[in-house]
Structures are given as structure tokens and as C-alpha cells.
Amino acid sequence: MHIMEGFLPWQWCIVWWLIALPCLAFGVWRLKKIIDADREALPLLGVTGGFIFILSSLKLPSVTGSCSHPTGTGLSAICFGPWITSVICGIVLLFQALFLAHGGLSVLGANIVSMGIVGPLVGYAIYRLLKDTSVNIYLTVFLATALADMFTYVTTSLELALAYPAEVGGVASSFVLFLAIFAITQVPLAIVEGIVLALVFKYIVALKPDILIRMKIFSEKQINEARGEA
């Protein structure tokens, strides 16, 4: 999902940076608040953040004959909300921009918006929508993580389409062209990521159910039901 350094006009770089910065600032503030309130939240942050580090470094081949990587942001979005996830993504993307020439400092804002803000926001919205329904919690986690992954790439496509409208058809037709590159490649990756992260969530439920209940991520009843069946 990285837009490569130099491939976004500077005007757009500034626009995406201006959107990303307040979200990051709010995320840092939220992070401080959560850690002050509950030290036991820190290990959970380690697990969810760790998976962003791992999954975003795996470049996997896909059906379109090109490679792409999962984002791993959904789990963190469910547990900590989208804004703290933005901060972790910011760290990962900065690492990749500085040392791997994946993305760059000028396009970092745009990449944070797609991977760190829109993707997690979509995942979080789905989780909130399904949280209090009778939907199985692992299905909720699957849907939230898979769609957080998908929408990261949809956003990248939109960012590029806005900067490079096609001569015929404008933004809409170049959006379709970029979607064909990014989104189709991503479909199988998103499905696998969703299943794997749902499995990880099962182990969190098995080992440390009290933190999930205390942070009100799922209700006690839902967790107990999940433990009973898992």
C-alpha cells in the first residue's frame, strides 16, 4: 500500500500530512491516558502492535502475479480504537520509509492515512456494529481485520486517483485502474489475515480474558461463551 517517495505531487503530500497529524496527536494523547489508567493494557498493546510489525513485513504473492502485504491493523483497532493504531502504524511506516525505501517522508502522511487511519476506522466501525449483536466474536474479529486490510488498499487507490485523474473519465476511471492493481491483489491476503488474526484473538481470549473484559472490548458473557466453545 505504500505510495513511493516522489510519486505524489507535493500539494497532495501536504494535504495528507495535515489530515494525519491531528489523528496522530490525538492517538498519542489516548495512548498516554490508557497506559496511565491500566498498566496491564501495555502487554495487550505489545501483542497487537507486534502483529502490525510482523504482518506488514510479509510480502506475499497473490493471484494477480504481484506481491503485496497484509496490514495487521484490525486487532489493534478492535482493542485500542483507530487512533492509537495510527500511532503504531506511524512507527512502522517511518521505519520502512527510513530504512527500506518503502514509502518516504513526503508521502508518509498519505500512507498513514490509508494504513493507520482509514483502514483501522473501518475495522473499528465493523467491530462496534457487530459487538453487541449475537454474531460470534471470532467472526466479528475476522470481518473487522479483513476489511481493515481491504480498505487500506482502497484508500491508497483513491489517494492516487485523486492525484492522477485519467484524461478520459477523470478520478473515477483512474480509481478503477488503481483498484485493479491494489484491491484485487489484496482480496486473498485479507481473507487469510482475517482468519489468522481471529485465531490469535482466540489465544488472547484463552490466556488473558480479564483484560478484554476490563477494557470492555467484549462483554463478560461473550468472552465466557467463546471460552466455552473454544
Partner 1 sequence: MAKSYILEILAVVAILAFCGVFLFTSSTLKGAEFAGSDNVGSGMIAELSGKPVESFAPLIPQWEPPSGEVESCLFALQSAIGGICVGGVFGYWLGQKKSMSETKANQ
Which residues, in sequence order, are bridge partners of residue 166?
A: 170
How buried is residue 197: exposed, middle or buried, by Cβ count under 10 Å (0-12/13-18/19+)?
Answer: buried
Query: Does residue 152 touch partner 1 according to CB under 8 A?
Result: no
Cβ atoms of 126 and 141 within 8 Å: the answer is no
The verdict on 223 binding partner 1 (CB under 8 A) reads no
170 touches partner 1 by CB under 8 A: no
Closest to 189 measured CA to CA, from 60, 45, 83, 79: 60
User: Could you give the string, one character per residue 9-28, with x where binding to partner 1 holds by CB under 8 A and - elsewhere?
Assistant: -x--x---------------
CB of 104 to partner 1, least distance (A): 5
Nearer to partner 1, 26 or 209 (CB): 209
34 binds partner 1 (CB under 8 A): no
The site map against partner 1 for 69-88 (x = CB under 8 A) is --------------------
- Phi-psi category of residue 152: left, alpha or beta, with phi > 0 → left and psi -120 to 50 → alpha: alpha
**Region from 16-24, 94-102, 114-122, 124-132 binding partner 1, contact rule CB under 8 A:** 94-102
Applying CB under 8 A, among 97, 113, 144, 190 the residue interacting with partner 1 is 97
Residues 131-150 within binding reach of partner 1 (CB under 8 A): 138
CA pair distance 137, 4, nearest whole angstrom? 37
Amino acid making up residue 97: A
Q: Which of 125, 162, 166, 215 binds partner 1 (CB under 8 A)?
A: 166
In this chain, which of 106, 140, 152, 222 binds partner 1, going by CB under 8 A? 106
SS3 of 53-64? HHHCCCCEECCC
What residue type is 36 in one-letter code?
D
